[in-house]
Amino acid sequence: MNALAIAVDNAPWQRRWRRFRRNRTALSGLYVLVALIVFSLAAAPLEALLGIDANNADLLSRFDGRSATNWLGHDELGRDVLIRLMYGGQVSLGVGIAATLLGAVIGISIGLAAGYFGGNLDALLMRFTDGIIALPLLPLLIVLAAIDLTKLGFSADFARSSAASFYRIVLIIALIDWTRIARLVRASTLSIREREFVLAARVSGAGTVRILLRSVLPNVIAPIIVACSQVLGSVILFEAVLSFLGFGIAPPTPSWGNMLNNAQELVATAPMLAIYPGLLIFITVIAVNFIGDGLQDAFDPRAE
Residue among 246 and 251 whose Cβ is closer to another protein: 246
In whole angstroms, how close is the CB of 151 to another protein at the nearest point? 5
Burial class (CB in 10 A: 0-12, 13-18, 19+), 302: exposed
Q: DSSP 3-state assignment of 80? A: strand
State yes or no: residue 139 binds another protein (CB under 8 A): yes
State yes or no: residue 245 binds another protein (CB under 8 A): yes
How far from chain centre, in Å, is Cα 22? 25
Which member of 42, 140, 187, 201 binds another protein (CB under 8 A)? 140
State yes or no: residue 285 binds another protein (CB under 8 A): yes
Which member of 95, 182, 263, 291 binds another protein (CB under 8 A)? 263
Residue among 53 and 265 whose Cβ is closer to another protein: 265
State yes or no: residue 147 binds another protein (CB under 8 A): yes
C-alpha 133/C-alpha 45 separation (Å) is 42
State yes or no: residue 240 binds another protein (CB under 8 A): yes
State yes or no: residue 264 binds another protein (CB under 8 A): yes
DSSP string, 19-56: HHHH-HHHHHHHHHHHHHHHHHHTHHHHHHHHT--TT-
C-alpha 250/C-alpha 292 separation (Å) is 30
Binding mask 109-138 for another protein (x = CB under 8 A): ------------------x---x-xxxxxx
Output DSSP code: residue 149.
G
In whole angstroms, how close is the CB of 280 to another protein at the nearest point? 10
Count of beta carbons in the 10 Å neighbourhood of residue 224: 18
CA gyration radius, the chain: 23
C-alpha 244/C-alpha 274 separation (Å) is 11
147: left (phi over 0), alpha (psi -120 to 50) or beta: beta
C-alpha 102/C-alpha 108 separation (Å) is 10
Size of the site for another protein (CB under 8 A): 44
State yes or no: residue 106 binds another protein (CB under 8 A): no
Which member of 241, 251, 262, 297 binds another protein (CB under 8 A)? 241
Which member of 34, 49, 271, 303 binds another protein (CB under 8 A)? 271
Stretch of 37-45, 66-74, 116-124, 244-252 lying at the interface with another protein (CB under 8 A): 244-252
Give the type of residue at 123.
A
Count of beta carbons in the 10 Å neighbourhood of residue 233: 21
State yes or no: residue 153 binds another protein (CB under 8 A): no
In whole angstroms, how close is the CB of 262 to another protein at the nearest point? 11
Residues forming the site for another protein (CB under 8 A): 127, 131, 133-140, 142-144, 146-148, 151-152, 233, 237, 240-241, 244-246, 257, 260, 263-264, 267-268, 271, 274-275, 277-278, 281-282, 285-286, 288-290, 293
